[in-house]
Amino acid sequence: DKAGYKHFMAKEIAEQPTVLQGALAHYIDAAGGSVTLPDPGIDFAGIERLTLVACGTAFYACMVAKYWFEQIARLPVEIDVASEFRYREPPVTPGTAALFVSQSGETADTLAALRYMAGKADRILSVVNVAESSIARESDLALPILAGVEVGVASTKAFTCQLTTLALLVLKAARDRGEIDDAILADHLAALRRLPGIMNAALNIETATRDLAQELSEARDILFLGRGAMYPLALEGALKLKEISYIHAEAYASGELKHGPIALVDPAVPVIVMAPTDGLFDKTVSNMQEVMARGGKVLLITDAAGARTASDGVWKTLILPDVPPFLAPILYAIPAQLLAYHTAIAKGTDVDQPRNLAKSVTVE
């Protein structure tokens, strides 16, 4: 049931503040001071290394989580797409935990990667939406993301709920490992609890994205740029756009631009730059200026402070509410989703059932 929306994707985008709030309430204890996991739990003090494996959008959630686990919990992380992972035959050293992220819990490659790690890793964890799925059943600890049923082939609310669940796990790991104290943990949890409200406000950019969509829908190629944890968001924006609008979209870490992709820049290739004001903002802006100096048409997605300092000469700016840098990747999923959705509508494609794609990929 689309609950009055034109597409499941639109409904699922709009549901995000509500489902996120439910997930936060599930994992944060009543006093708001700690993260509670289902039995048997895990103590990250005894973990030396984490391997994160998934496909598609779930893989981009893992990419964001790698930045978080390494920066906040000081835990070394390796990530891989599930279709490559087991064929690399990675050696597994003691102290390794493996974490698999999957909306459906039935993706064939992710399940095969989990089975490769069973008996090799100290612990098998999963972050899943379907709690009764094979991946959940075969894990030592399965963490539900509580997004509710996701029908649209393009994953939206599952992505933000995966990120939220992973953020909570990162904070638990950071506390277990003594990298943050109780006061800092409580501050982070309070910030997370404010996120559904901020996300609600961010959904107001819908009108602005609709206005941009007509022009984007006429492009043959679109580039996305981001740095740090915004790089996986750029990848997610490009994947979403490819999946439902069939426009060729590619994402690069902003700093990679001058190593090749800048050759593609011309006025016919919109370049979408995802840049909240954080420690990397100035560097991203200087990459953006390199694009503009070559005639590139830039759509800057940033916050009010970013728009004040960096909007000169850009084609369009989308302004999101302020959010702590740690949580920006969750919030910046909203413009990635809305731009893809409205561009697909402008092109007249089948948003919920894009050609050649299945919701759950259960064959290799």
3-state secondary structure of 259: helix
Cβ closer to ligand M6R: 157 or 188? 157
Contact set for ligand M6R, span 210-269 (CB under 6 A): 239, 243
Q: What is the DSSP letter of 99?
A: E
One residue of 21, 83, 96, 102 binding ligand M6R per CB under 6 A: 102
Minimum Å gap between C-beta 55 and ligand M6R is 4
User: By CB under 6 A, how many residues form the interface with ligand M6R?
Assistant: 16
Q: List alpha helices for the chain, DSSP H.
A: 8-14, 16-27, 56-72, 82-85, 108-117, 134-137, 157-176, 182-202, 206-217, 230-245, 281-293, 304-310, 328-331, 333-347
Kindly tell me which of 243 and 352 has the beta carbon lying closer to ligand M6R: 243
The single residue among 16, 51, 57, 139 that binds ligand M6R, judged by CB under 6 A, is 57
Rule CB under 6 A: is residue 55 a binding residue for ligand M6R?
A: yes
* Residue among 291, 245, 293, 242 at smallest CA distance from 270: 291
Q: Are 49 and 42 in contact (CB under 8 A)?
A: no
For the packed helices 56-72 and 230-245, what is the interaxial angle rounded to 10 degrees?
170
- CB-nearer residue toward ligand M6R: 131 or 361: 361
Task: Look up residue 276 and give its amino acid.
Answer: P
Residue among 150 and 176 whose Cβ is closer to ligand M6R? 150
Within residues 134-163, the interface with ligand M6R by CB under 6 A covers 153-155
Six-digit token pair at 315? 């084609």
The one among 23, 52, 58, 300 contacting ligand M6R by CB under 6 A: 58
Q: Which residue's Cβ has the minimum distance to ligand M6R?
A: 56
Q: By CB under 6 A, is residue 289 in contact with ligand M6R?
A: no
Cα–Cα distance for residue pair 48/253, rounded to 1 Å: 28
3-class secondary structure, 272: strand
Q: Do 20 and 162 meet the contact criterion of CB atoms below 8 Å apart?
A: no
Active site residue 359: yes
One of 21, 51, 104, 164 touching ligand M6R (CB under 6 A): 104
Nearer to ligand M6R, 108 or 191 (CB): 108
Figure out which of the listed residues 16, 96, 103, 245 binds ligand M6R, where binding follows CB under 6 A. Answer: 103
Distance CA 257, CA 231 (A): 12
Chosen residue from 83, 96, 110, 254 binding ligand M6R by CB under 6 A: 110
- Of 243 and 303, which has the nearer Cβ to ligand M6R? 243
Task: Please state the closest distance from residue 130 (CB atom) to ligand M6R, in A.
Answer: 8
Query: Helix axis angle, 16-27 relative to 182-202, nearest 10°?
Result: 160
Q: What does each C-alpha distance from 292 to 98, 285, 295 come to in angstroms?
A: 42, 10, 5
Residue 83 within binding range of ligand M6R, rule CB under 6 A: no
Active site residues per annotation: 359
Binding residues for ligand M6R, rule: CB under 6 A, are: 55-58, 102-104, 107, 110, 153-155, 239, 243, 360-361
